[in-house]
Structure 1
């Protein structure tokens, strides 16, 4: 193959992708069968199969058991807003958006004591196996699950205090900053790292997607004088949402 020439399966995938983009193959239309692709493009079964795999990996088509492969309806991405400004009522940015009347948001969360695995221990600067309070959230807009969040707080800070459970007690749901202030810990900064990866099976099940489809991962850590007091992973479907940051200029 000459340098720079595309493999046959990519050329076929590119043409099918263009048909999806221009509406020749609209959403919910069955993708041409492997035999049809083979005949139309003069390629082998292997090339036809690989072209279909490319479109599936890109999230443009989906397989339906016993029925075939169909063009997926592509959602219009919506914004999940992050802000560097003080949140109303001590809420986190995500929780504040969930309370917006236009969003009709709800959330549910469960907490349980766990031992810090090495990766989380490193983020919290504790020893692996140290006790942490782990809280898992599902956020919804109407009936649609929009994001997942798992947070960990070191029990050496919150254990035996009224704020040990983020969703119970006098400051339930008030956010990390306000809860930590109640035990004389002043949170003064937050660090976020944003990345992407394929969705895990459990994440896809909760978010209504397919395993392997891309998700955005926000790894967030609240700190007080350089001491991590909470770290969390926020999972957002990349095909449905964009993360919008609103930061003050000093």
Structure 2
């Protein structure tokens, strides 16, 4: 029974994809309501709901409530470049990522003495629940949120110093490397691990995307010269809108 139900919603989803691909349902076309689709495909309304959720997550459809409500074929969105620079201090939020060709601004909020959840504690090499400073970032282009980041720094490292709040105090916004240098810590390297993820409802709402849409999660961690993690962050970028590009300078190879 479960296999038949699964095959049903996958079949409906593929049939709708085919109609979009061949132009039968062009961008802006309003789909029939769920009872209508259920009758047409000979399935239950729950099967139709599952099929539509898949296509909403893929970005092929969009749904509106209120006046003019319904589910529509989504017009393709123009993709833009999100350069990854080697100089994070030059970009809003000190994240090393800022949209190319857009006026960009930043919103940030820091909270001190936040217990570290297990994944963050593992990346920082501290105990679960150990206190941290958490900073939430939103990078805006044309007043729309294009990426978010959540940064964590062990409170034990910066407590009682002028740099305890990354976006407050005399060195607000100077970046991890510069801030840590003022308290005698040399940040020697940074690692980044990109992972594919699906946006949850809260993140999708913030980024103006559909719940379940694909995104890139970049797990970034800064280390000092002893290999100790001093900061880690989760940077989330909607995949349907932005191409993250890495420009890596290379030293010239001596001629032999």
TM-score (norm 1): 0.83
Contact 2:88 2:96 in 1 (8 A): no
What pairs with 1:154-193 in structure 2 (closer than 5 Å)? 154-193=154-193
Alignment partner, residue 78 of structure 2: 76
Matched ranges for 1:223-242 at <5 A: 223-225=223-225, 226-242=227-243
1:87 deviates by 4.9
> Structure 1 stretches of 5 or more lacking a match?
1-5
Q: 1:219, CA displacement in angstroms?
A: 0.8
Segments of structure 2 that go 5 or more residues without pairing to the other structure are 1-5, 252-256
Contact in 1 for aligned 2:56/2:62 (Cα 8 Å): yes
CA contact (8 A) 1:148 1:234 kept: yes
| Aligned counterpart, 1:153 | 153
TM-score, scaled relative to structure 2: 0.81
Give, in whole Å, the separation in 1 of the partners of 2:49 and 2:88.
50
More off after superposition, 146-155 vs 62-71: 62-71
Say yes or no: does 1:112 pair with 2:114: no
Report 1:210-229 matches (<5 A). Answer: 210-225=210-225, 226-229=227-230
- Given that residues 104 and 142 in structure 2 are in contact (C-alpha distance below 8 angstroms), is that contact kept between their aligned partners in structure 1? yes
Q: What secondary structure sits across from 1:172 in the alignment?
A: coil
How many pairs were matched up? 241
| 2:18 equivalent to 1:52 | no
For 1:240 and 1:110, the matched residues in 2 are separated by: 25
